[in-house]
Structure formats: structure tokens, C-alpha cells
Structure 1
Amino acid sequence: MDKTDRAILAHLMENGRLTNIELADLVGLSPSPCLRRVRQLESSGVITGYHAAADPTAIGRGFHVLLAVEMAVQDKDTIESFESAITKLDEVVHCLRLFGQPDYLLWVAVPDLATYERFYMDELTGLPGVARTNSQFVMKKVKSTPGMPIPAP
């Protein structure tokens, strides 16, 4: 990726609804070469998709919990079963397997504390291999960067 590709990517990450003409103007290209570069970034997997950001509260997901999960058993079958079960839970919006403790960090988004308690008791406690969990409720979002900042070359 050269400087122009990085600029295209940065502008699209800031506003994915830019027209090709607007984007071309912002990066100093004519529309055809700009579109070719965008298509190349898409086909090479640098651009993985386009989506709209929604207010979590407006869509019933305003209560956020970071849930640390420690596994009792870490054999392949248990890990695969746990991860498969997690992918089916809509309330879990991110799940990261970590090195060290905890084994997993989950980002759970639900409407409120009562819903989280039901979700925790009905779904999370029955997940395969779980030994311990630690729920931390989000007080305030201080920073949330859509996408990923583009480092200079």
C-alpha cells in the first residue's frame, strides 16, 4: 500500500458513504484510477466491508459488559465447543481468545442489567469448560475508534 492507498482507506474508514467522485477529489486522483484502487483494496482483502454504525441504546444494546472467562479445561474439543457456542450468542458482540489469564474476553451488549443477569444465568453459566468468570460493567465510553487508525508508511 502506498500513500494514496492509505489516504483512500483513511477517508473511507471515516465516511464509507463517500461517492467515488468525492473520494477521488479528496485523494487527488481522477475517478477512474481512484475506483480501480478501491476495487484493488477490496479484492486484496484490505477493505473487508462497509457498514453503518448505530447508537447501541437506540437498538436495545446500551448496557455493555466486559466478561473475563477462565477455562477449567483447555483441550481442543472443549475450546472448539466453547467457541462454537459463543458464536451463536447474539448478545456477545466480540470474543477474543487471549494468551495468559483470562483465557477469553467477551464484550456483551444487552438492554440493561436485568437482561444481562438472565443472559448470564441462562446462557453463559452453561458454556462448555468454563471455570470462572468476572463481569465488569462499562461506566463510560471514553474513546471508540471506528475501524483502525492507519499508520504512516
Structure 2
Amino acid sequence: MANPYENFKKDPESLETDLTTLQYQVTQNSGTEPPFQNEYWDHKAAGIYVDIVSGEPLFASIHKFDSGTGWPSFYRPINDQVIQLKSDYELWIPRTEVRSRYADSHLGHVFNDGPPPTGMRYCINSAALKFIKKEDLHAIGYGELAALFEDGAKK
């Protein structure tokens, strides 16, 4: 099956009009939104989180946990291939930046203080994400990911 995202091309001019100022600042300029004042930090509905720029499926609610940090946190992406990890030296300590694979959107950072089974905490900006409800997956083209929500699928 062909990957619909591998030929994705960003159009900087349309991004400035299609995204909010905060979404643009976060995804295109590696910004960070305020903790506890963002759309998905305490979001509990079942579904997937996709890149706000390209629609690439990134994270699933079944892998989300409350890290107490004020940002949505996941212990794994849907698939390791959907993200890129890059060294980030913007602060006084080195961090690992998380970016989407095809749109190259800045998503957030990953830390090794998460829960089992991975021990990882993907701390992601809500402004980089769009939520797709589990019941809408088939209708809008993400039907292959519905299997994530079947009994025993959580890993």
C-alpha cells in the first residue's frame, strides 16, 4: 500500500493562513505552548492524534498517560517510523526533539522518564496535533488504525 504522506510538500504561504499563530509558531519555529493551557493535555477521548500540518497519524489515545507536566504525553508513537528524533541543544541541557517524518513539524520532546512498557515520555504540544475520534477513523481515511482500539491491542 502506498504511503499518502511520503510525497507531502509544505507550502509556507498556505501554512501561515491555514494554521493559527500558535500552531505555526510551534510546528514551524520549534515553539512551545504553555502547560495546562492547551487543548489536549487532559483530553481523554478515544482516537488518534495526527500532525496538524500533514495529517500524518502520530499518536493514539491508548498510549496516552497523565505525566503531570501539562502537555499531552504518550509512551509510544503509533509507529516509530512516523517520527524523527533530533538532538536539541536550545536549553542548558541536551534534549531529544520529536518531529513528524514527512511534514517535519516540530511536535515536542521525548524523555526517558515515562511509564512501562517503554519507559518513554513523548511530551507533545497540542498545537502540533489534530484529534480524530475513534468512531470517525473509517469515515475520514484512517480506518486501518481502528484495530488499535480492539480488545488486546494496547501494547
TM-score by length of 1: 0.24
Give the structure with the larger helix fraction. 1
Give the structure with the larger strand fraction. 2
Structure number with greater CO (CA < 8 Å, separation at least 6) is: 1
TM-score by length of 2: 0.24
